[in-house]
Amino acid sequence: MPIKRYIPLAIAVLAGAIAITLIQLRHINTPPSPQTLLAAAADVQHEITRVPAHLDHISDADEIAVGDVMAQHLTASLKRIPSVPSQDYRIEAYLQEVGTRTAAHTRRKLPWRFHYIPDPNFVNAFALPGGHIFVGQGLLPLMQSEDALAAVLGHEIEHVDLRHCAERIQTQAQLHQLGAVGQVVGLPISIFIAGYSKDQELEADRDGTTLAVQAGYSYMGILQLFDAFNRHAAKNNRTTAKAGPIGEAAQLSLATISGYFASHPPSAQRSMQIRRMAKDLNWQAPPLQPLGLRDL
C-alpha cells in the first residue's frame, strides 16, 4: 500500500497529540472529546502562523490594491454560477445599503464594498483585504432580521478594520516568501474564507455587534442568528454520510479540523459574550427590523 495513503491519518494523529499537549499546558478544564482536541489543534495552527509582532503593518493603499484584484478575480468567477442577474443586483444593493450604514463608525475609513454569492450551498460570509465583504446566499435564510444581517456584516467589516485580513496577507507572504504586492494577489481566496483564531473571531463579534448597535440595530438580531447556527449545525451532523473504517477516521478528523478553520467559535460562547456586553454597556433592544429579502 503506498505510503501516501497513510498521510491523512498521520496528520490527524499528530494534530491530536499537539492538542493534548496544548490542553495540558493551558490546564484546560474541558471534558475530553474529538471536538475539544481538534479545536485545540486548530488554535495551535493559528498561533504558529501568526505574523511576528515586529513586522510593520501593510499600508492601507497596498491592502486596498491587493483586495481589489482578489475581488475582481472572484466576482468574475461568480458569473459562472447560474442565477437571476436582476435579483442578484437587488440583493447586492441591499447588502451595500445595510453594510454602509453599519460601517459608519469604523476606525479605518476604507472603501467598503459588499458582494453577493448566489450559491444556496454557501452558508458563510467572509472579508477580503481592503474592505470587500462577501455574503453567501445560503446564509441569508438563517437570518430573521436586518439586525442580524448588520451584525454579520459588522463582524466581517471588523476582520478588515482590526487588520486580521492584512495580518493574513503578511503571514502568507512570509510563509511563501512573497515580496511584491503583485505576488501577494495570487494567494488563494480560501485563506480568507478560513476562520481566524478564536480570540480574533470573538473580537470581531464584539466590535462588529458594537458597529451594528451604533448604527441603530438591536443586538437581539445576532443572538437569534446564533440559535439558528446551532440548529443548522445539528441538522448537518445528523445528515452527514458515514464512510468506512480507518479511512473514515482519518477523513472525519481532517474534515473537522478544516471545518474549524472555516467557521467560528461555538455559538453558545459567542452568544454568552454578546449578552454580557449588552448588560455591561446597557444596550437597549429596539424592535427588530424586518429583513428586506423575505422572498429568498
Q: How confident is the model at residue 237 (pLDDT cuts 50, 70, 90)?
A: low
- Between 173 and 228, whose confidence is greater? 228
- Between 233 and 170, whose confidence is greater? 170
Q: At residue 209, what is the residue type?
A: T
* pLDDT, mean of residues 48-54: 44
User: Could you give the CA distance from residue 207 to residue 282 in angstroms, rounded to a whole number?
Assistant: 16
- Between 261 and 65, whose confidence is greater? 65
* pLDDT, mean of residues 224-251: 59
Grid coordinates belonging to 145: 432580521
Cβ atoms 132, 71 nearer than 8 A: yes
Query: Partners of 223 in the beta sheet?
Result: none
pTM score, whole prediction: 0.74
The domain ranges of the chain are: 1-48, 58-280
- 208 three-class SS: helix
Q: Which secondary-structure segment (H or E) carries 251?
A: helix 245-261
In three state form, how does the secondary structure of 149-206 look?
Answer: HHHHHHHHHHHHHCCHHHHHHHHHHHHCCCCCHHHHCCCCCHHHHCCCCHHHHHHHHH
* pLDDT, mean of residues 40-69: 65
Cβ atoms 222, 214 nearer than 8 A: no
Summarised one tens digit per residue, pLDDT across range 10-25 is 444 444 444 444 334 4
User: Could you give the CA distance from residue 206 to residue 277 in angstroms, rounded to a whole number?
Assistant: 8
Q: At what angle do helices 7-26 and 245-261 cross, to 10 degrees?
A: 50
- 126 three-class SS: strand
Query: Partners of 128 in the beta sheet?
Result: 132
Pick from 44-58, 143-157, 185-199 the range whose average pLDDT is largest: 143-157
In the predicted model, is pLDDT for residue 243 greater than 50?
A: no
- Give me the percent of the chain exceeding a pLDDT of 90: 51
